[in-house]
Amino acid sequence: MHFHPYLTLNGNCAEAFARYQEIFGGPLELLTMAEAPDGPPPGTDPDLVMHASLTTDGGALLMGADHPTGELGPVHGMCVNVELPTKEEAHRVFDELSEGGTVQLPMAETFFSHAFGMCIDRFGTPWMVVTNDPNLAMP
């Protein structure tokens, strides 16, 4: 079984996923409402993204879309957790994700990771960035 984050954005999905592609790499596919087989649903902005799919160079999948109305409140009750192989890579990703956003918990060493931090990016997506070290175990 696999879980894949599916982000809902406020009319800025194309911009957000272009940024995620810069940060994580890999091919990006975007489908706008105008590209739907039957055209955009009535009353929907044809430029909104119906589906975005980013497959990172490491094989991870991140998907998303614009909210059909282009109006969505803040995200509550979830974070996208990205696990990186090194402390340096975790810091790089965290710095890039938090640029223009809000740092909730600065990157720091913890009892379970050599690098862990939380932020909300400038697109409103909450992130947890972590390294996984098998020598550090949660109690």
Residues 56 and 106 in one domain: no
Does the residue 139 lie in any domain? no
Mark out the alpha helices in the chain (DSSP H runs).
13-24, 87-98
CATH code of the domain covering residue 105: 3.30.720.110
Against a cut of 0.75, is the pTM above it? yes
What is the domain range of residue 20?
A: 6-66
Please name which of 70, 51, 45, 40 lies closest in space to residue 7, comparing C-alpha atoms.
Answer: 51
Question: In terms of pLDDT, which residue wins out, 12 or 43?
Answer: 12
Shared-domain flag, residues 53 and 91:
no
pLDDT in tens, 51-92: 999 999 888 899 999 988 767 777 888 999 999 999 999 999
